[in-house]
Chains A and B, each alone.
Chain A
Amino acid sequence: MAPRCWRWWHWSAWRRTRPPPAGSTPSVWQQFSTQEQGPQICVVGSGPAGFYTTQHLLKHHPRAHVDIYEKQLVPFGLVRFGVAPDHPEVKNVINTFTQTARSDRCAFRGNVVVGRDVAVSELQAAYHAVVLSYGAEDHQALEIPGEELPGVFSARAFVGWYNGLPENRELAPDLSCDTAVILGQGNVALDVARILLTPPGHLEKTDITEAALGVLRQSRVKTVWIVGRRGPLQVAFTIKELREMIQLPGTRPMLDPADFLGLQDRIKELPRQRKRLTELLLRTATEKPGAEEAARQASAARTWGLRFFRSPQQVLPSPNGRRVAGIRLAVTRLEGVGEAARAAPTGDTEDLPCGLVLSSVGYKSRPIDPNVPFDPKLGVIPNMEGRVLGVPGLYCSGWVKRGPTGVIATTMTDSFLTGQMLLQDLKAGLLPSGPRPGYAAIEALLSSRGVQPVSFSDWEKLDAEEVSRGKGAGKPREKLLDPQEMLRLLGR
């Protein structure tokens, strides 16, 4: 307990700078006056952007305190809900995040929906600075007729389903057809193709949900087409993921050499990343496999292929109109070269029969609060190097700042940059001076609104439960899917 004279100093200093908000009780200020005097910072979102921003702030300011708010009951964002179950090494970053969360200058506040349970303006009043790191939870729609038919899903929802995102647990995709079409040629498209085609036995020891594993075991999907509206030089996936597809057990690739005519000559001018990727595509499409690989391919029961210069025009219904039976694709040609080349229609179309359509054409952020500027065209919060335009004290990092592309390491570098800008502003006296109550003020608001925040040690209890449930099946964890069950386990 702080000495009484120090508490009085804080109380009187606060009164000189600003009157306490109407309706606040003295106990709130007494609480805050015993807290350390460092800047109180609020981060919204507990995925890589939120955690790396927090890590930077804690490391570069010895007294800063950071509260991380999260709408889910559990932390880690896309590391938990986006990264594929067969890529566990990518999830190692969770160990670093856990260290950050366990710092005594950091507190995780889960089950709080900023924008609904608490307004950004209320956070700004309680903290010295607020960082928005809430990512991109919507998918880019196809905006074509037939998109609403049963059997059409966003890759986002499909990934959420096999990764245990509570809102996608009832997805129930029907995998009884023999052909699936994935629209889009990024790493998410390859993840979805790989999960559809991997022999289910290979997924048994991963953290894929038991429900999804059961559905995949019954799957009759034999062929997956991964369709892009541009050409081989514009594919958005990276070489590691392509290599995995090529080597996928029980499958063989179908690439049309005609799509690669003339590319051999252009490869040498390409920058390294694009060059190596295109070389691998070209080899796979045009070279005769060695004896061993040929035998492996001959015995493969499942196939995958890349289709280029095809843009989705309409999802075609079955005769009774009740589900998807195919997709009409517009044939395109390229205008321009390189990464900036655009697909233009030729007027021709092509129908591709299928029973499942997964659209993987990008994510989109949502505006979080009427008082936070948002650019609906770009789908980001307007900002300059992480400082939200026109709103001092408000920052952003990660996908909501730069758009929804890039891997964890990209987001990490970006988050450190935002953290750097915030601390620069703090040092330059551009942030509110004088003490701020931080969570002490927000806790009261949440409580009065019936919101039950979940702490990091609550998460650790749920974590232990998931790990324990996975043990019997040899899985790293069995994810909890029902928020009500999770709250019950926490005694709420």
Chain B
Amino acid sequence: MVLNALRKVLEDVQPDSVAVASGSDGACEGTLACSTCHLIFEEHIFEKLEAVTDEENDMLDLAYGLTDRSRLGCQIYLTKAMDNMTVRVPDAVADARQAVDASKNS
């Protein structure tokens, strides 16, 4: 299940993030076959999330920039308790480059 509201925010704020660029719900469309929807949560939100399964951990193993507050966005249900939370989107690439200032879509 995707954080639909989160996706909308990402599209406005971080359209170059792998989480958005990979396509709806990530490259595998939310089926735990990739790690492109990797998101990093605040501690107080992270510890209240539903327990991570082996299958999700198997995919998290492959995520770039993994932290101990990382989860796959496609496995997280949005709840009221998450109002005003801050979510971090990992850098898409290993060497942080400045974003190309090419003409962007309007």
A interface residues, Cβ below 8 angstroms from B: 55-56, 59-63, 87, 89-90, 92-93, 95-96, 99, 238-240, 243, 272-273, 276-277, 407-409, 412-413, 416-417, 420, 423-424, 426-427
> What's the dominant secondary structure at chain B's contact region?
loop
B93-A416 in contact (CB<8A): yes
Least Cβ–Cβ distance between B20 and chain A, in angstroms = 10
Contacts of A63 in B (CB 8 A): 103
Question: Contact flags (1/0) for B91-104 with A, using CB distance below 8 Å?
Answer: 01100010011111
A413-B102 in contact (CB<8A): no
**Given known contacts A95-B23, A240-B58, A243-B54, is B93 in contact with A90 (CB within 8 Å)?**
no
A420-B61 in contact (CB<8A): no
Distance of A239 Cα from B53 Cα, bound (Å): 13
Contacts of B27 in A (CB 8 A): 92-93, 96, 408-409, 412
- Count A-B pairs with CB separation below 8 Å: 94
Q: Cβ of B89 < 8 Å from any Cβ of A?
A: no
Contacts of A240 in B (CB 8 A): 55, 58-59
**Given known contacts A60-B100, A272-B66, is B29 in contact with A92 (CB within 8 Å)?**
yes
The residues in B between 30 and 66 inclusive whose CB is less than 8 angstroms from any CB of A are 31-36, 54-55, 57-59, 61-62, 64, 66
Q: Cβ of B84 < 8 Å from any Cβ of A?
A: no
In this complex, what residue of A is CB-closest to B68? A272
Distance of A92 Cα from B35 Cα, bound (Å): 14
Q: Cβ of B10 < 8 Å from any Cβ of A?
A: no
Q: Cβ of B4 < 8 Å from any Cβ of A?
A: no
Contact of B58 among A96, A239, A424 (CB under 8 A): A239
B103-A61 in contact (CB<8A): yes
B100-A423 in contact (CB<8A): yes
**Given known contacts A407-B62, A413-B64, is B28 in contact with A90 (CB within 8 Å)?**
yes
A409-B34 in contact (CB<8A): yes
Least Cβ–Cβ distance between B55 and chain A, in angstroms = 7
**Other than the known A92-B29, A409-B62, what 12 A-B pairs have Cβ atoms closer than 8 Å?**
A60-B102, A89-B29, A89-B33, A90-B34, A93-B23, A238-B58, A276-B58, A408-B34, A409-B22, A412-B18, A413-B64, A427-B100
Distance of A99 Cα from B18 Cα, bound (Å): 17
In this complex, what residue of B is CB-closest to A88? B31
**Given known contacts A62-B106, A238-B58, A240-B55, is B29 in contact with A413 (CB within 8 Å)?**
no
**Given known contacts A420-B97, A426-B102, is B61 in contact with A276 (CB within 8 Å)?**
yes
Distance of A265 Cα from B40 Cα, bound (Å): 31
In this complex, what residue of B is CB-closest to A97? B23
Chain B interface residue count, CB cutoff 8 Å, equals: 33
Distance of A488 Cα from B23 Cα, bound (Å): 34
Distance of A277 Cα from B35 Cα, bound (Å): 17
Q: Cβ of B2 < 8 Å from any Cβ of A?
A: no
Distance of A90 Cα from B100 Cα, bound (Å): 30
Distance of A420 Cα from B105 Cα, bound (Å): 15
Distance of A408 Cα from B106 Cα, bound (Å): 29
Least Cβ–Cβ distance between B90 and chain A, in angstroms = 11
A420-B29 in contact (CB<8A): no
Distance of A240 Cα from B33 Cα, bound (Å): 9
Contacts of B33 in A (CB 8 A): 87, 89-90, 92
B92-A92 in contact (CB<8A): no
Q: Cβ of B3 < 8 Å from any Cβ of A?
A: no
Contacts of B106 in A (CB 8 A): 62
